Amino acid sequence: MAAFGTAAGRPLQGRGGSLGFRFTLYAAVAIVVMYLDQRQHYLEQLRYVLQAAAYPIQLAVNSPPAAWRWISESFESRERLQAENARLRAAQRDLELRSMRYEALARENGELRGLAAALPPVADRWLAAEIVSIQLSSLRQRLLIDRGAVNGVFRAQAVLDDRGLIGQTTHVGPWSAEVILITDPEHAVPVRVERTGLRTIAVGAGDATSLALPYLPANADIKSGDLLVTSGLGGVFPEGYPVARVTEVHRDAVQPLAQVRAEPLAHLDTDREVMLVWFRADHPRAPAPTGKSLGELKSGTPSLQPLAAPPRPPAAAPAAAPQSQPARVRAPAAAPRKQPAESPPPEPQAPEPQAAEPKAAAPQPAAPEPPQEPPKQEPPTPQPDASQAKEHQ
Amino acid sequence: MNAPSGGRILITGSVALVLTVLPLPPWLDVLRPVFLVLAVLYWSVNAPRTGDIALGFWAGLALDVFQGPVLGQHALALALVTYIAVREHQRIRSKPAFQQALIVFAALAVYEFVLFAIDGWSGHAVSSPLRWVHTVTGALLWPPVAAILAYGSRGRA
């Protein structure tokens, strides 16, 4: 900031050493900052402060569209409002009918699984957040939402809308948080094909309407219309939440991998509100318990971070790594997938080899040294802001 | 030309920052030049004593907060661009607008390349060719942007 003062009379070389020296100085500072931020995660505090400082500007920048929306909503006609009201009523009746048998089904399910009492739902608490700004480009698919640390939001928290998965929080400020969408090219979500149980990874394709499934062998049992749900691996999203529907399966005779596209179920480009979710840590379907996953992370799996999309793997690798699928994989992320599994274990449920998940297990491609610091994730024990939390369940 | 005050640089810089982070539809977003880099370039060339490497560094840090995956990434890229611009400011200033636009294109390419390299280094690699589009639009928009900034500094000085 010192350089903002006018210095009209002085020679160019005069202040703080020569030009080259000053450049070296600033470049060194920038590189140190980058190193601390990227490799050590020392700068969470600084990020927190900067995010707080940037929030008013972001609000201001996004106020014109918000104001326009508000105005157009205020002048909506009576007929339209009535029509919307009727539609919502119908939708609510529909949902109530569907949830009528929920209790009974949940108990029945619990009995079938041999549990004494039916488990409570995995989601503990919901909090609606409004979208402040949207960045949807082919490079970055991010949202800024108006809830932050004061509402108990933590890093790597799952974000949903009423139809499916949206993404997870990356940077949390006091009043705002940045959400990386599942369609961001840097994001990958471990999924399971609901029809067959086939597990794979869905990587963002950089536009709001498609995900890529790049790690499926050409003979994988997947077809257009299959529903993808979260597999519960990776430690961020709990099992069983809908993610996307397969729209396109392209098999090429010469390619060992199938080219599969899926369309996210969540309305990533039209949503105005999203839901932040807190999960019961002790629930069997919850993502990896924090303490345990931190231990695993220390041993080298940065699975709690937003996963960087890796370059396409060498063709043979995923296809040649079949993987047994126990009925309920509880040990998430690191443990079972490290071994390449030369001998394909027998697999009663699914005849075709499971697609391996090279992504969640392998260290990030650009991180040569495996022992990466775990992200500072607060345990998902929220400081409940009861007035604002909507207890849906 | 008398040296513009730091305040003016701060104001134009803030406006450029707002233009840079303003939400736009995706197709326009690809085309949008990084206005803040253009403004910093202009001040580095036309007021090298005030707009200095420090200006580039802080402007880059502001960009990092809004859109950088790694803190310090834009700061380094912009500090480098400012260094080149300040060093060559006399040569650049004397060129006609068309040649200036070419130089700006080269500077933006350097800027984007640094970002690209750091992206790759930090594991955020995004290799879509669309990320380079803004270097062309930035160069094309350089003459009007420079004219507006020059008008502002002459009108008030």
Q: Name the band, by pLDDT with cuts 50, 70 and 90, for residue A16.
A: low
The answer to whether position A231 is within a domain reads yes
For chain B, the straight-line distance linking the first and the last C-alpha, in angstroms and rounded, comes to 9
- In this model, does residue A50 exceed pLDDT 50? yes
Q: Which pLDDT score is estimated for B125?
A: 66
* Pick from A114-128, A184-198, B13-27: least confident: A114-128
Q: Which residue has the higher pLDDT, A128 or A380?
A: A128
DSSP string, B16-72: HHHHHHS---HHHHHH---HHHHHHHHHHHH-TTTS-HHHHHHHHHHHHHHH-SSTT
- Count how many residues are written for chain A: 393
The answer to whether position A35 is within a domain reads no
Q: Which pLDDT score is estimated for A202?
A: 93
Q: How far is B3 from chain A (nearest CA, A)?
A: 6
Q: Please state, for a pLDDT cut of 70, what percent of chain A lies above it.
A: 64
- In this model, does residue A329 exceed pLDDT 90? no
Model pLDDT for residues A276-323, shown as the tens digit of each residue: 988 877 766 666 544 433 333 333 334 444 444 444 444 443 433 344
The answer to whether position A109 is within a domain reads no
Name residue A25's beta-bridge partners.
none
Model pLDDT for residues A176-222, shown as the tens digit of each residue: 898 999 998 888 999 999 899 899 999 988 777 889 998 888 888 88
Contact A122, A279 (CB under 8 A): yes
Q: Which pLDDT score is estimated for B98?
A: 86
The answer to whether position A168 is within a domain reads yes
Model pLDDT for residues A240-259, shown as the tens digit of each residue: 888 999 998 988 888 888 88
Domain count, chain A: 1
Tokens 């990896």 belong to which residue?
Answer: A288
The answer to whether position A57 is within a domain reads no
Q: What number is the average pLDDT over the span A78-98?
A: 89
Q: How far is B143 from chain A (nearest CA, A)?
A: 25
Cβ contact, residue pair A51, B65, below 8 Å: yes
Q: What number is the average pLDDT over the span B104-112?
A: 92
- In this model, does residue A334 exceed pLDDT 50? no
Range of the structural domain that residue A232 is part of? 123-312+382-393
Q: Which pLDDT score is estimated for A117?
A: 52
Q: Which pLDDT score is estimated for B107?
A: 92
Contact A358, A312 (CB under 8 A): no
Q: How far is B90 from chain A (nearest CA, A)?
A: 12
CA distance B134 to A137: 13
- Among residues A329, A342, A245, the alpha carbon closest in space to that of A287 is found at A329
Find the CB nearest B120 among A22, A136, A366: A366
Q: What number is the average pLDDT over the span A62-66?
A: 79
Task: Look over chain A and give the mean of its residue pLDDT values, rounded to a whole number.
Answer: 71
Q: For residue A112, give the amino acid letter.
A: L
The answer to whether position A115 is within a domain reads no
Reduced DSSP (H G I as helix, E B as strand, rest coil) percent helix, strand, coil of chain B, to 5: 80, 0, 20
Which positions ≥6 away from A96 have C-beta within 8 Å? none
Q: Which residue has the higher pLDDT, A201 or A392?
A: A201
Q: Which pLDDT score is estimated for A305?
A: 42
Find the CB nearest A137 among B17, B22, B30: B30
Q: Does the predicted model carry a pTM greater than 0.80? A: no
The answer to whether position A102 is within a domain reads no
User: Domain holding A208: CATH number?
Assistant: 2.40.10.340
Contact A258, A249 (CB under 8 A): yes
Contact of B47 with chain A, judged by CB distance below 8 Å, is answered with no
A186 CB neighbours in chain B (<8 A) are 69, 124, 126
The answer to whether position A80 is within a domain reads no
Q: Which residue has the higher pLDDT, A207 or B37?
A: B37
